[in-house]
Amino acid sequence: MAYQNDTDLEFLNQCDNELLGVLVEILTKDKGEERFTETLTLSNGYKTYHPDHVKYWRDIAESYQRFGGNTFVNMVRSGGVLYREILCDVCDKLKVNYNPNSSIETIEMQLLNKVLTDSLEKMTPEQLEEISRDFGLKLENIKGLTPQAVTAALQAAIRVSGFKAYKCAVIVANALAQLILGHGLSFGANAMLTKAISVFAGPIGWVITGLWTALDIAGPAYRVTIPATIQIACMRQMINAADSDCDEELDDENDWADEDDIDDDEEYDDEDAEVAHNDVCKKPIGIFYGTDGGDTEKVVEQIAEELREYVDVKIFDVAKASRNDLRRYENLIFASPTYGEGDLQSDWEDFLPKLSASDVAGKTIAFVGLGDQDSYGETFGEGIAHIYRKLAKRAYVVGQTSTDGYQFESSKSVVCGKFIGLMIDEANQDNQTKERIAAWVEDVVYKFN
């Protein structure tokens, strides 16, 4: 059975090997022993690339779909099923209160909230008190409250806004890794989040272990689909937050960066970047681009022409630009074509290593990518994704666009179902370029500072 294309699982190609490793462990092992019913280790991708999991993510997804099919009895379904159906099936088994017509992210958060709130019932009064204080619940005389009252307050905080999506995902993912691997994840977290991770780890583990052995769970496939689906839900929230694209504002309790991006600058608190953009931008915009054939230069000149009706714009060719040129602007646009199999343009390859996320921390940035969806449909427009992943973590990203009207197989420039910026295909859809630019400028001009 081959992997069934599923837009809700495409994000796995953006996950790191540590997160994917937990998923692989769930799919291939049971209590540390080889899982007799698994087929992932027999796949060519696993044999060739393991433990570089991201290189065979489709095999991982196919294995998950197969186990999902087993929960519906594959002899009837004759194959695996798509993620939404598996997710809803897991939610039904766990008695999650959810709307099956909601977005995938919403259903996943309801699943994670269910795991967290159920784990609260496993906590001692002392643990409940510690969690209450750590997350600043507005409770008078915490010591005098019953465990049920504290649990109710914590559950309400999780359902409303006390627990942001990223924090929820990190805590649950770490507990799952502790249970599956015997150790937590290695991501960075400050003291407050580390406390929460420690307090929740045991109770969440007990909840998940209980789910595995519960009498009302029929069929061994649920021993895979339940923890695997919880892991996938965590991974999506963590990827969304890391890319500063689909999540709520991140505060300094959950802000994180790649090791390569850490320097002497203070970490940026993304919450400061959540500002209301109701008027046309006032501050000038710097556009930084790289080009070989001239198409990208032509596109940024068209963008600049449209923008200049509202605000001052200056264009910089990165072959001649400096880091100080970039640092002078509060509003920035980065543009790049794509070469080969998703490669970055050569001048950007020289310029990007000179930059770090701190150079754009707190600034408003947007992205423009060029690609060829007919000739390079599997890596369409991925050149700009290299810049995005390097710089976007501490900035306020604007200008994401719909993938409607494009025909391609996959792209790392798609995050949470949208392009990370404006995507142009001069090779196949040059007749739409002018219209796409005009619509994009009309949108972002109200979002820049």
Q: DSSP character for 58?
A: H
- Predicted pLDDT of residue 281: 76
The structure's pTM equals 0.52
What is the b/e burial string over 288-301, where b = at least 16 CB atoms within 10 angstroms of the residue's CB?
bbbbeeebbbbbbe
323-378, pLDDT tens digit by residue? 999 999 999 999 999 998 899 999 999 999 999 888 888 788 999 999 999 999 99
Q: Tokens 């643990």, residue?
A: 127
Give me the residues of the chain with pLDDT under 70, please: 1, 70-79, 131-148, 150-166, 183-199, 201-202, 204-205, 208-220, 241-279
Domain residue spans of the chain:
10-242, 277-444
pLDDT of residue 249: 35
pLDDT at 263: 40
Query: How confident is the model at residue 126, as a pLDDT?
Result: 77
Domain 277-444 has CATH 3.40.50.360: yes
CA 284 to chain centre: 30
Instruction: Identify the pLDDT of residue 328.
Output: 92
String of DSSP letters for 117-128: HHHHTTS-HHHH
Q: Give the pLDDT score at 194.
A: 53
228 close to 19: Cβ distance less than 8 angstroms: no
- The pLDDT, as a whole number, for residue 195 is 57
